[in-house]
Homo-oligomer: A and B are copies of this chain.
Amino acid sequence: MSNNNNLKTIAILGGTGKEGKGLAYRWARAGYRVLIGSRTPQKALDAAAELSQKLDNESHIEGLDNPTAAMQADIVVLTVPYAAHRATLESLKDALQGKLLIDVTVPLVPPKVRKVQMPPAGSATQEAQEILGENVEVCAAFQNISHEHLLQDASVTCDVLVSGTSPEARDETIKLVEAAGLSGWDAGPIENSVVIEGLTSVLIGINKKYGSTHAGIKITGVNKQSAD
């Protein structure tokens, strides 16, 4: 299931939204085989065609229904609205066993999207882990990135914090963050996902208060070159 660069296959479920399309574009550009999943296969086909054209048809992007995309992938990325989070995961539980799930979901509770309001599991990412069971590695990532940035080629001035079930899963996720042209940081165990998801509400509030449109964060005081 890898392309000729031995890169893995990534499925992006709910991949026809702006965030999903942005990630698909960046990973396809980096040479990964990308499967865009949707509840509506025609939408997935359209998104795949649009992105293929943007990449001069030299990339590998397919549009599929969500279950087929999940089944064929090595790594599955979830970019559905929080309202569809539980139902999507429950329906794909079997297809996801043994894989890495990267959960991009932010559990916003409208209309008070500037207030951190986590589900009983502690965060959407922990909720995903509860639903999928211990045979699925789950990481949180990309919650704080403005989706407008992902479909552009310019560099993004927001770092990506990555929490998750194991150091290995976090390293694998950080590799994909870097492949997308972003700077990723190991933010620790899955219990820390509340910080990453909650930071989105903080940034939405900062945008409202300070009249900005794409507040983000950068980690300071660390020379990453010295990382192991």
Contact = CB atoms under 8 A, between A and B. Distances in A.
Interface of A: 114-118, 146, 157-158, 161, 163, 185-189, 191-192, 194-195, 198-199, 201-203, 205-207, 209-224, 226-228
22 contacts: A114-B188, A116-B194, A116-B195, A157-B220, A157-B221, A158-B220, A187-B206, A188-B205, A192-B201, A192-B202, A192-B205, A194-B194, A203-B219, A206-B222, A209-B227, A209-B228, A211-B227, A212-B223, A215-B220, A215-B221, A217-B219, A217-B220
A48 to B, nearest CB: 30
Dominant secondary structure of chain A at its interface with chain B: mixed
A202 to B, nearest CB: 5
A188 B222 contact: no
Given A210-B222, A221-B214, A228-B211, A116 B192 contact: yes
Contact of A199 (B116, B195, B203, B218): B195
Nearest to A114: B188
Contacts of A199: 195, 199
Nearest to A185: B206
